[in-house]
Amino acid sequence: EKAGYKHFMAKEIAEQPVVLGDALRHYLPNGQLNLPEGLDFADLDRLTLVACGTAFYACSVAKYWFEQLAGLPCEIDVASEFRYREPPLPKRSFAIFVSQSGETADTLAALRYCHEKVAKTVAVVNVPTSSIARECDIALPILAGVEVGVASTKAFTCQLLVLAAMALKAGVDRGHIAPADLDEHLTTLRALPGLMNTTLGCSEQIEKLAERLAEAQDILFLGRGPMFPLALEGALKLKEISYIHAEGYASGELKHGPIALIDRSVPVIVLAPHDRLFDKTVSNMQEVMARHGEVLLISDGKGLAAASEGTWATLKMPAVAEPWAPILYAVPAQLLAYYTAVAKGTDVDQPRNLAKSVTVE
């Protein structure tokens, strides 16, 4: 069942180029966008995205995409807060619920709160027969295939792909994206499975880095823009399976408190593709190094050429056009968590205290 892999998590990480390819063939066939008719973003005042855990971080990445590519104001919240907040919702809005299982109790309750209040409810789910899929007006399958490992991996990248297709559709519907730009985005997305394969090739390198990470008590992840939620996801993945305390921060927030934690014993993982925000992130990274933090810089060739000096280690990623890097950088984040947990000897597929599907509040 594990197809020769030691853990389901390893298998599911490795499957990503294939399942992402399936999702791409479904949502971006023949260089076009393929989403249901009823999903028209033209006249909306707002989007609301609600989920838990890793699925919430997928929503958090998508917020950057919807706002930048479609000029659509976008609210995100974790379901356990959203459902009790009684937030007012504009009628001209969609509420989107992202859930691998489609059965998460808080997400389902948040969905039930939104019925009648918004123009449409939309499910982004892995299980098409699930409660959340059935109760939404529109259900979009992420096509990741069965995910067994408790730590969500391939579901996350497939959620991101579906949300990316939606953000592009929103950009087109709202006249925010020129046809030539759309083509470029579609080309970039369709290249992701190939780039992911390349990225999986750095597994051995990551396994070595993980030996050091496994000795740490605390680990920080930093990112800016859509890489910020990926920093949060990297920290969640690491803590849930290796039991090492980890936090993700927006790079620019570092100096507002967390920098006090930095010393030689704290590895800091910096997720920084060579994009518009690169120089800003690098200056935060240098603040860390000035305090003897051990930096692992994950970037592309250009980024590493510009900023490797003084780091503890680097990981080279293929270059990927903005704003899609989070889909690709999810892979090293997952592998770092995986190999650190393996080095610590924890139960990777069944971490303590956790369940795959959280159907109680």
Q: Which residues are identified as catalytic?
A: 356
Nearest to 12 by CA among 127, 144, 210: 144
- How far apart CA 278 and CA 215 sit, in angstroms, is 29
DSSP 8-state code for residue 254: G
Q: End-to-end alpha-carbon separation of the chain, Å? A: 31
Minimum Å gap between C-beta 339 and ligand F6R is: 16
Token pair 């033209």 in the structure block, residue: 42
Q: Which residues pair with 122 in a beta bridge?
A: 96, 138
Token representation of residue 289: 């190094």
Q: Which is nearer to ligand F6R, 223 or 351 (CB)?
A: 351
Q: Which is nearer to ligand F6R, 52 or 196 (CB)?
A: 52
Minimum Å gap between C-beta 208 and ligand F6R is: 24
- How far apart CA 265 and CA 262 sit, in angstroms, is 8
Contacts to ligand F6R by CB under 6 A: 52-55, 99-101, 104, 107, 151-152, 236-237, 240, 357-358
Alpha carbon 350 to its chain's center: 21
Minimum Å gap between C-beta 100 and ligand F6R is: 3
Minimum Å gap between C-beta 293 and ligand F6R is: 26
Which residues have a Cβ under 8 Å from the Cβ of 296 and sit 6 or more positions away?
209, 267, 268, 269, 270, 311, 312, 313, 314, 315
Q: Which is nearer to ligand F6R, 11 or 174 (CB)?
A: 11
Report the 10 Å Cβ neighbour count for 330: 28
Q: Are 114 and 129 in contact (CB under 8 A)?
A: no
Q: Are 220 and 261 in contact (CB under 8 A)?
A: yes
- How far apart CA 323 and CA 180 sit, in angstroms, is 16
Minimum Å gap between C-beta 292 and ligand F6R is: 31
Minimum Å gap between C-beta 152 and ligand F6R is: 3
Which residues have a Cβ under 8 Å from the Cβ of 112 and sit 6 or more positions away?
135
Token pair 């518009």 in the structure block, residue: 276
Q: Which is nearer to ligand F6R, 241 or 343 (CB)?
A: 241
Minimum Å gap between C-beta 103 and ligand F6R is: 7
- How far apart CA 311 and CA 289 sit, in angstroms, is 7
Q: Which is nearer to ligand F6R, 45 or 347 (CB)?
A: 347
Alpha carbon 135 to its chain's center: 25
Q: Which is nearer to ligand F6R, 53 or 223 (CB)?
A: 53
- How far apart CA 150 and CA 237 sit, in angstroms, is 10
Task: Write out the DSSP string of 284-319.
Answer: HHHHHHHTT-EEEEEEEHHHHHHH-TT-SEEEEE--
Q: Which is nearer to ligand F6R, 49 or 182 (CB)?
A: 49
The residue nearest ligand F6R at its CB is 53
- As a residue count, the chain comes to 361
